Structure 1
Amino acid sequence: MQRNFSFLTDITDDDKRLLSRFLDWTEMAEEKYITKHSAFLDERQCRLCEKVMASVKYENYLLWGGYEGAERKMLCVYPQYGDEDIKSSFPMTAVTFKYRSEDKLSHRDFLGSLMALGITRDCVGDILVGDGRTSVFVKDTAARDVMSVSKIGRVGVKTEDGFDPSTVIMPEFREITGTVASLRLDSVLSLALRISREKASALIKGGAVEISHVRTEQTSKHVEVGEKISARGYGKFLVKSVDGVSHKDRLHITICKYI
């Protein structure tokens, strides 16, 4: 069935195919009582999913990444029934790697090692790097291969099934407040970086800026509350809230800079 996604901006043909599949799942859930799970979605795909579900007023779905605050999540579309624990139905496994704390490993080290096994990106959720301990969320179909890993790069590791939520290091922020004429990217970035709008525009046009992990060179692109902006050399920012309108019709906004 041809779907109309004209209310969404800057989406690709791949996005349309993905979202169409999700809408098909809502019909299967309602008509045939079938539950479906996606692979891992990135933050942008999760936001598109939420918008599409809202557009058809479908509420029986859940985006879950294995712990509260996860960035990469799976989608579950389910029929209206009982009190089943939907989170327990997700086909994902947490694998924890242990190694010497003096061996410093990065997110890239773990992702590269998993990709070398032939595991695709959509089979891997968040990678939570700690001190001598890193937890990775993967699709159940990839769990056995991940559990068999004995080295990340040149560092020896041991694996165990499971994940301790208390080990999650929550991000720290510094709040930035101010007013902008609109939620155009160049205006928001100018406030976040405390630079002129012209310099912010130059960064965007130079390909140094991403919104929700997608690079954009559109200075006029609309930024939504909840989206993350990263600027090469400056760090990452979360557009936290719009807090009102000034007497000059400017928007009061709060931005959080990741520390």
Structure 2
Amino acid sequence: MDANIYQHFRKAEAPFIDQVAGWLQEVSDQYRPYLTDFLDPRQQYIVEAIVGEKGEQHYQFDGGYLAAERKRALIYPEYFVPTQEDFDIQLFEIHYPTKFATLSHGKVLGTLVNAGIKREVFGDIMTDGDRWQFFVTASMADYIQTQITQIGRIGVRLEPKDYTELLVPKDAWSLEHTTASSLRIDGLISAVYNISRQRSKELVENGKIKLNWQVFERPDFELGLRDIISVRGFGRIQLREIEGKSKKDKYRLLLGVLRK
């Protein structure tokens, strides 16, 4: 792999770049597909950039449904034609006493992580406001089904579902165009949620935001393509595209926005 590829990404992303290079080498050496765990959107962007469109290896993503955020990547040689079954994804529905209890994304996520299940093993967690479902790697499905019998103090049962039984998620991204003088986290939060720059800076410094699902406390940090910031109490922002500069030398941006 060209050593110059590192300069296009952050230093902290170097280990993941090395990992992608290893996957490519394995596909080349063994001449068979390689299936990753679930990747976040930023990692998917890195895979796209490194594998490219014109090499001997190709890639495809699947997260269980078209609008999935977290997806598995299948990297494969030219001869291979992927099918949905090749992604080995299992959908679960959470059965719980809906009349007496409520679930939340945080409760479901926390239960899975606290059970010792790596974040890479499960994909999107979805709700229609009443029902809850989530995706996992098929190889871990039996283990997760036996381990998860409670969420908080709520007794639950996980039922395997076919992907055709997927609920329609309540939360949906809206696409918004905006301009910004920089790609700083605090500036974008301020612009999208119409709050002061000082208020957005405090949110970041006080640990109220996550960058790609990790707590992050640097308000001056500049976002890259596909990054997602989660702002507690406000929603989420994803940098979808940088569309160029305006006449006033501001960035023209396409954002995905979730508002609470």
Task: Report the TM range for the smaller structure's normalisation.
Answer: 0.7 to 0.9
Question: Alpha-carbon deviation of 1:33?
Answer: 0.9
1:88 to 2:85 alignment: yes
Aligned to 1:180: 180
Normalising by structure 2, report the TM-score.
0.78
DSSP-derived class of the 2:224 partner:
coil
TM-score (norm 1): 0.79
SS at structure 1 position matched to 2:15:
helix
> Residue 214 of structure 1 aligns with which residue?
214
The residue number in structure 2 matching 1:39 is 37
User: Match of 2:38, as an amino acid?
Assistant: F
**Distance in 2, Cα, partners of 1:155 & 1:19:** 40
Distance 1:117-1:226 versus aligned 2 partners, 3 A rule? closer
The DSSP-based 3-state class of the residue aligned with 2:72 is strand
Is residue 250 from structure 1 mapped to residue 250 from structure 2 by the alignment? yes
Which consecutive residues of structure 1, in runs of 5 or more, have no partner in the other structure?
Answer: none
In structure 2, how many angstroms separate the alpha carbons of the residues matched to 1:205 and 1:155?
34
* Distance in structure 2 (CA, Å) of the matches to 1:26 and 1:157: 40
Please list, as runs of the form range in 1=range in 2, the aligned pairs for 1:155-194 lying within 5 A after superposition.
155-162=154-161, 163-164=163-164, 166-172=166-172, 177-194=177-194
Identity across matched positions, percent? 26
Structure 2 unaligned residues grouped into runs of 5+: none
Match of 1:60, SS state, is: strand
Matches of 1:179 and 1:218 in 2, distance apart?
Answer: 21
Mapped partners of 2:110, 2:217: distance in 1: 28
Pairing partner for 1:97 from 87, 94, 97: 94
CA contact (8 A) 1:95 1:146 kept: no
Name the CA distance, whole Å, in 1 between partners of 2:230 and 2:5: 27
TM-superposed deviation, 1:22: 2.2
Deviation at residue 180 of structure 1 after TM alignment: 1.9
CA contact (8 A) 1:226 1:238 kept: yes
Instruction: Identify which range, 212-221 or 136-145, moves more after superposition.
Output: 212-221
Which amino acid is 2:93 matched to?
A: T
Could you tell me how far 1:206 is from its partner in structure 2?
Answer: 4.0
Partner Cα distance (1:182, 1:116) in 2: 37
Please report how far the alpha carbon of residue 232 of structure 1 lies from its aligned counterpart in structure 2 after TM superposition. Answer: 3.4
Residue matched to 1:10: 10
CA RMSD of aligned residues (A): 3.3
After alignment, is 15-24 or 48-57 more displaced? 48-57
1:45 CA displacement: 2.7
Amino acid at match of 1:121: R
Cα 1:173–1:198 shift into 2, 3 Å: same
| Aligned match for 2:50, one of 52, 59, 63 | 52
